Amino acid sequence: MKILVTGGAGFIGSNFVRYLSEKYPDYELSVVDALTYAGDRGRLADIEDKISFHEGDIADYDTMEKLTQGVDVVAHFAAESHVDRSIADPGPFLRSNIIGTDVTARAALKNKVGRFHHVSTDEVFGTLEIGSPEKFNEKTPYNPRSPYAAAKASSDHIVRAYGETYGLPFTITNCSNNYGPYDSPGRVMPVFITNALEDKPLPIYGKGQAVRDYLYVHDHCVAIDLAIHKGVVGETYCVGGAAQRNGIQVAETILEALGKPKSLIEFVADRPGHDMRYDIDPSYIKEKLGWQQSVSFEEGIAKTVDWYKTHENWWKPYKERLDLMRESGLYNTKAGAAK
């Protein structure tokens, strides 16, 4: 089987490529990534002999038409995904997430790709009240509240529309906040972990009450694998980690794992239009595909902290690169305790 992974040098995409290379050594794996701030080829350095890597733009039709030739499955991860950057500059999010999905889907249709799997987010559903028993599921109406969420909601609708109109054989997964190895130092977990390792403040938005559902990235990879190989064409599957935590709880768990003082916690100005709670009900994917969460939040944090402690040679240069981009105005965001 030949699988093309878009955004395969990103955090979740690269973990999925690693997962596939280990579980399906006979598969032919191709990766396309534009290598922007979120992409780093170093994530794949030790498995490059097992894959075919292409630096390219998913919004370029000629590129994607060539890359989808002879492909059995497109696993579509590529997207602009940092909420704060979408608030500062929505344009790249519209181009990558909407136009890029349109182009990739049309190329897949032309080349009769057998399955187009679209990786999406819980943010398309909006926000929930803190303390409410409500959870997002496959029937939750869309209510995006940031440019990033709106762009991802649009890409979901494009994929479904192309399924209805042109027969695109798609599946979709909407996931909660991922964490684990190779996460970008510009995102919450790595910011907290690496700052704590360097005895720097851990910045938390507002009063730290915003709640997210955290999903260990390997468990997410398993869910995507199941959706691709066993999922029903036209179906959507919500994937959650059953780990509701607010910003303070996340920071304190990391500080405890590293033996660092809580005095490193620092509260910063809140994000505009900050969603207060996300929570996903994964009952459907459990029932239909047999998916099960295998890593608890505490186990996942321990694994992630240990990984960053032993991979300073990867995250430190990446973090320095992001800092330079911030100074030059190319990466307009502050890190806070939310996706």
For residue 24, count CB atoms less than 10 angstroms from its CB and return exposed for 0-12, middle for 13-18, buried for 19 or more. middle
CB 157 within 8 A of CB 209: no
Q: Across 198-254, where does the E strand assignment appear?
A: 202-205, 211-216, 236-239, 244-246
The partner residues of 168 in beta bridges, in order of sequence, read none
User: Catalytic pick from 40, 84, 148, 275?
Assistant: 148
Task: Map residue 265 onto helix, strand or coil.
Answer: strand
Q: What is the DSSP letter of 280?
A: B
Q: What is the Cα 85 distance to its own chain's centre?
A: 15
**CA angle at 173 for the pair 169 and 175, rounded to the nearest 5°:** 170
Cα dihedral value 100, 215, 201, 309, nearest 10: -100
Catalytic residue of the set 40, 80, 123, 252 = 123
Query: Counting every residue, how long is the chain?
Result: 339
Residue 118 β-bridge partners: 76, 172
Is residue 122 flagged as an active site residue? yes
Task: Choose the catalytic residue: 40, 84, 102, 122.
Answer: 122
CA torsion, points 44, 46, 51, 52, in degrees to nearest 10?
Answer: 70
- Residues forming the active site: 122-123, 148
